[in-house]
């Protein structure tokens, strides 16, 4: 009984350890500074879109917190060997995959909240959509977790299957019900919003694939290489699904703000400079 969750790997080569370690640090930096950037950019969108930015920043902040924990936990679980080139053997401290589930339980519903927030639908339409999306997404995560910590592959498959039910419902709401509201978005952002939706589908697809690795099993998927690949998949999917996703939310908010209020359409036009051919004679505000 050397494994707690069926996913603990007894040894990583120094190269495998370094790969995962550096990836985790990349995720921390991406999440933390995307969160700060989004917060610092709030005043560049109209007030009605600021909540979408704050929620996006919160998602990245929560992910940064969890990756910081995962990073520290990983160092403790696979301490260095006798030399820099030696294998990192699993210590008596479990590598805790549950941090990811805790993270997703909080961030996946919030990603749906930020998506609805940036669309700025009517109050009733927003409420109806959120009452479907948020509970279904939380249920999807909660049902996946027992499978992740289960000893047997049968239980892993069963809970994974159950978790797919709310996932399919989410797809229905996003791709059927949400489409009605999409037509009312400005044409300039319709493509971006459709891409958001597609990227949710594509990125969320990474998680169940990584989840299946131990079931696929074999020397590769069931061993250290599978572990490294799974951590790589989770980490990159998290960067795209949270940090990059938040930046697209910001871009949509910025375009919509500019369309609705010229005050926010100030990115590229620089009237003073343009009309004066490079010479400025506008007094600086003191």
In angstroms, how far is the first alpha carbon of the chain from the final one? Answer: 72
Q: Pick the piece of the chain touching its own copies (CB under 8 A) from 156-164, 195-203, 228-236, 252-260.
A: 252-260
How far apart CA 91 and CA 76 sit, in angstroms, is 7
Restricting to residues 164-193, which ones interact with its own copies according to CB under 8 A?
A: 184-186
Q: Which is nearer to its own copies, 176 or 271 (CB)?
A: 271
C-alpha to C-alpha distance for 63 and 72, rounded to whole angstroms:
14
- The residue to which tokens 């300039």 are assigned: 188
CB of 259 to its own copies, least distance (A): 6
CB atoms within 10 A of CB 111: 23
Q: In angstroms, what is the minimal distance from the CB of 252 to its own copies? A: 12
* Binding residues for its own copies, total number by CB under 8 A: 83
**CB 241 within 8 Å of CB 200:** yes
Q: Answer yes or no whether residue 230 interacts with its own copies by CB under 8 A.
A: no
- Is residue 31 a contact point for its own copies (CB under 8 A)? no
Q: Which of residues 48-67 bind its own copies (CB under 8 A)?
A: 48, 50-51, 54-55, 57-58, 61-62, 65-66
Interactions with its own copies, residue window 100-139 (CB under 8 A): 101-103, 105-106, 120-123, 126
Residue 261 touches its own copies, criterion: CB under 8 A? yes
Measured distance CA(60)–CA(107) in Å, rounded: 8
* Near its own copies by CB under 8 A: residue from 270, 281, 282, 283: 270
Compute the radius of gyration of the chain from its Cα atoms. Answer: 22
Instruction: Report, in Å, the least distance between residue 172 CB and its own copies.
Output: 24
Q: Which of 6, 11, 69, 146 binds its own copies (CB under 8 A)?
A: 69
Q: Which two tokens stand for residue 120?
A: 């700025």
- Please list the helix, strand and coil fractions of the chain in percent, rounded to the nearest 5, in that order: 75, 0, 20
DSSP one-letter code for 264: G
72 near its own copies (CB under 8 A) = no
Q: Would you say 122 or 205 has its CB closer to its own copies? A: 122
Residue 97 DSSP label? T
């Amino acid at each position: 009984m050397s494994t707690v969750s069926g996913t603990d790997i007894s040894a990583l080569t120094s190269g495998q350890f370094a790969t995962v370690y550096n990836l985790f640090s990349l995720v921390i930096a991406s999440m933390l500074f995307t969160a700060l950037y989004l917060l610092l950019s709030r005043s560049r969108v109209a007030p009605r879109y600021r909540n979408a930015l704050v929620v996006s920043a919160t998602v990245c902040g929560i992910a940064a917190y969890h990756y910081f924990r995962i990073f520290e936990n990983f160092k403790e679980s696979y301490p260095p060997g006798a030399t820099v080139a030696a294998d990192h053997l699993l210590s008596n401290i479990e590598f805790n995959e549950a941090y990811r589930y805790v993270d997703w339980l909080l961030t996946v519903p919030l990603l749906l909240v930020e998506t609805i927030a940036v669309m700025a639908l009517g109050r009733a339409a927003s409420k109806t959509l959120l009452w479907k999306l948020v509970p279904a997404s939380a249920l999807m995560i909660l049902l996946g977790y027992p499978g992740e910590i289960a000893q047997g592959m049968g239980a892993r498959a069963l809970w994974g299957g159950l978790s797919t039910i709310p996932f399919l419902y989410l797809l229905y709401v996003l791709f059927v019900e949400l489409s009605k509201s999409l037509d009312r978005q400005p044409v300039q952002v319709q493509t971006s919003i459709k891409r958001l939706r597609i990227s949710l589908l594509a990125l969320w697809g990474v998680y169940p694939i990584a989840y299946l690795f131990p079931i696929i099993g074999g020397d590769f998927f069931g061993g250290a290489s599978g572990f490294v690949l799974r951590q790589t998949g989770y980490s990159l999917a998290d960067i795209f699904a949270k940090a990059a996703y938040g930046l697209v939310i910001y871009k949509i908010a910025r375009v919509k703000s500019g369309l609705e209020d010229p005050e926010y359409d100030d990115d590229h036009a620089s009237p003073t400079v343009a009309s004066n051919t490079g010479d400025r004679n506008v007094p600086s505000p003191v």
